[in-house]
Amino acid sequence: MKTLNIGVVGAGRIGKLHVGNLMTRVKNASVVAVTDVVAESAKALAQQYGIPKVYGDYKELVSDPEIDAVFVCSSTDTHSIIAYEAVMAGKHVFCEKPIDFDLGRIQKVIAAVEQKGVKFQVGFNRRFDRNFKHVKDVVATGKIGDPHIVMVTSRDPAPPPISYVKVSGGIFLDMMIHDFDMVRYLSGSEVTEVFTNGVVLVDPEIGEAGDVDTAIVTLKFANGAIGVINNSRKAVYGYDQRVEVFGSKGCVTADNETPNLTTLYTEDGVMREKPLYFFLERYNDAFIAEEQGFVDAVLEDKPTLVNATDGLKPVLIAIAAKESLESGKPVKL
């Protein structure tokens, strides 16, 4: 089978992760070029993995005729700009979430994808987690009957730097956006209404930056189900990631990943391992699966598993959630 030649825009934490996986864990893929606004970061990454080309400007990368696909792993505020230019250059695109905060710019990308007929995938990696996928499959096959309640718990081990909070779009567009994607995915239905409660309990500086660090969003779905998402920027015991779907015939849950599944019983008590601490280790296999899925979609000419419209819908929900927090009222979508 042909090898997919990939150019990566962004040599930060997530760019490094994708490059490492694409070069060592993903079949039929090769990173042939990388670029970053910090030139030394791009050069170091290229040297580490033997990537032949380092560009000083992403425009050079997207216009390189040797490149079949572009991974957009740059800062959030540049995603849609780079993705659009790559699509218009005829490249297949894997774009980290969110595509943009602005709905008009997202629609512009979607229109370009349709016009050029290229593959486009958004980096909602949690869909590729083996346990969450199993929950989805159980719900889809009807084993728990009609979904009634969808619950997602997502709590980070530590809050991000304030400098990141100021440019990331806030908790709803940065953190909870994954959970908005998950409730659509798990329920098999669209969100029709949201109501938000949010407070600052972890770090006052987050509040000063105009955001909240602790939030609960309740949701209504088109299929009649209801749901709840709870987020915190700081869970002292680790990276807390759990889901549950309750239905008319049963319930299916997925618990946290831990370093091992052993339980120690002693006279002092019963002890189990805490959840994995960092999202890169918690979702490493999911990252590999989403990357392989994108490569296979391009090479085998089949639909991507998370398309551009899937990238738009969680942003719509996130904007509604933020509006609900500000107004104190439910918001319909």
Angle between helices 103-116 and 79-88 (to 10 degrees): 20
From 65, 45, 127, 119, select the one nearest 295 (Cα to Cα). 119
Strand-pairing partners, residue 9, are 35, 72
Please tell me the predicted confidence (pLDDT) of residue 281.
Answer: 83
All structural domains of the chain, each given as residue ranges with its CATH number in brackets, are: 4-118 (3.40.50.720), 126-280+313-332 (3.30.360.10)
Residue 275's pLDDT is 93
314, two tokens: 């969680």
- pTM (two decimals): 0.94
Q: Would you give per-residue pLDDT tens digits along the chain (333 residues)?
A: 799 999 999 999 999 999 999 999 999 999 999 999 999 999 999 999 999 999 999 999 999 999 999 999 998 889 999 999 999 999 999 999 999 999 999 999 999 999 999 999 999 999 999 999 999 999 999 999 999 999 999 999 999 999 989 888 899 999 999 999 999 999 999 999 999 999 999 999 999 999 999 999 999 999 999 999 999 999 999 999 999 999 999 999 999 999 999 999 999 999 999 998 888 888 999 999 999 999 999 999 999 999 999 999 999 999 999 999 999 999 999
84 close to 58: Cβ distance less than 8 angstroms: no
> Are 44 and 26 a contacting pair, CB within 8 Å?
no
Token pair belonging to 8: 């990566």
What DSSP line would sit under 173-192, residue for residue? Answer: IIIHHHHHHHHHHHHTS-EE
Give the pLDDT of residue 109: 98
Euclidean distance between CA atoms 155 and 290, whole angstroms:
22
Task: Please report the pLDDT score of residue 220 as a whole number.
Answer: 98
C-alpha 155: how far from chain center: 15
Q: Which residues pair with 194 in a beta bridge?
A: 219, 331
**Cα 328 to Cα 284: distance, rounded to the nearest angstrom:** 37
HSE of 284 in the Cβ direction (CA atoms, 13 Å)? 13
Selection from 85, 134, 162, 123 nearest residue 252 by Cα: 134
Q: Say how far apart CA 185 and CA 7 lie, in whole Å.
A: 29
85: number of Cβ within 10 Å: 20
Instruction: Determine the length of the chain.
Output: 333
Cβ burial of 51 (10 Å; 0-12, 13-18, 19+) is buried
Amino acid 233 reads: R
